[in-house]
């Protein structure tokens, strides 16, 4: 998924969990909006919400994607009453809030759509699941890092445009930044020429910030080197549509 559209995403276990051993029933748009209002103030339905492909489903949507222009939040509500009402939620990047939905995100929603299709076609039954009550755990990470500039400053650019850093590399780099660890870069990754960060034996943690807009050019260079190092370590397959 491209974090240039979504900085944070929390998925709820909605694929299998629900309330009873009965077949699914569609949720209409008005009901979905009422549910969405529990999570967003003044939710607005995106016109891109697709109907399920299930035969005989009367083209009822598999899910509803609501956004809030004021704070760039979004929430996804299930189109099936017997599935968990909340499919996912998150925060959109301010600079990309009006962009089209990334292909990776669409693919994830299509997978959920296939689950709804199976329920509506009576190919799947929903078991009873009682989730335990748990205390809220707030995010440990304070950084909001993405996959494009400056984070992809040193990723391969086969067509002259740097490829995204990749989800795994981005997530790993954020954890490393949280712990400011390790101090020393792998010896084989250190360059004999290039920028200060590229030649540095140590990671320049003190120059990195939670958000790209707050980083100096030195900090952007440092985080670009970090992302490239992690990409090498995880053997990232870089591709312009998503690494």
Note the pLDDT tens digit of each residue in 72-83. 888 999 999 989
Angle between helices 167-179 and 217-233 (to 10 degrees): 120
Specify the higher pLDDT residue, 136 or 78.
78
Q: DSSP code of 50?
A: P
At the fourth CATH level, the homologous superfamily of domain 139-243 is Peptidase C10 family (3.30.910.30)
User: What is the tens place of the pLDDT at every residue in 154-203?
Assistant: 999 998 999 999 999 999 999 999 999 999 999 999 999 999 999 999 99
Q: Give me the DSSP letters along 150-169.
A: TTTTTS--TTSSPPP--HHH
Q: Check pLDDT > 70 for residue 11.
A: no
Confidence grade of residue 24 (pLDDT, cut at 50, 70, 90): low
Cα atoms found within 13 Å of the Cα of residue 23, Cβ hemisphere only: 8
* Alpha-carbon span 14 to 129, nearest angstrom: 11
Domain spans, the chain: 6-120, 139-243
Statement: the pTM of the whole predicted model exceeds 0.75: no
At 238, phi and psi to the nearest 5?
-85, 135
Q: What is the pLDDT of residue 93?
A: 64
* Alpha-carbon span 214 to 208, nearest angstrom: 9
């Amino acid at each position: 998924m491209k974090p240039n559209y979504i900085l944070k995403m929390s998925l709820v276990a909605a694929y299998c969990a629900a309330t009873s051993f009965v077949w699914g029933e569609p949720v209409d748009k008005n009901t979905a909006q009422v549910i969405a209002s529990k999570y967003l103030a003044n939710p607005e339905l995106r016109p891109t919400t697709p109907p399920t492909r299930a035969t005989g489903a009367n083209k009822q949507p598999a899910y509803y994607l609501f956004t809030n222009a004021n704070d760039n939040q979004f929430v996804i509500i299930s189109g099936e009453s017997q599935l968990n009402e909340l499919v996912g939620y998150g925060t959109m990047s301010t600079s990309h809030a009006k962009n089209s939905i990334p292909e990776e995100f669409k693919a994830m929603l299509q997978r959920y759509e296939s689950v709804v299709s199976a329920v509506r076609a009576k190919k799947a039954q929903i078991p009873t699941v009682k989730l335990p009550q748990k205390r809220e755990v707030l995010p440990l990470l304070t950084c909001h890092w993405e996959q494009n500039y400056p984070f992809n400053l040193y990723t391969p650019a086969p067509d002259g445009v740097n490829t995204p850093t990749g989800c795994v590399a981005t997530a790993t780099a954020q954890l490393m930044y949280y712990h400011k660890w390790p101090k020393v870069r792998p010896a084989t990754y250190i360059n004999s020429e290039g920028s200060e960060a590229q030649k540095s034996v140590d990671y320049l943690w003190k120059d990195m910030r939670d958000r790209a807009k707050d980083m100096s050019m030195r900090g952007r260079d440092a985080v670009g080197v970090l992302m490239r190092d992690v990409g090498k370590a995880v053997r990232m397959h870089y591709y312009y549509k998503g690494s």
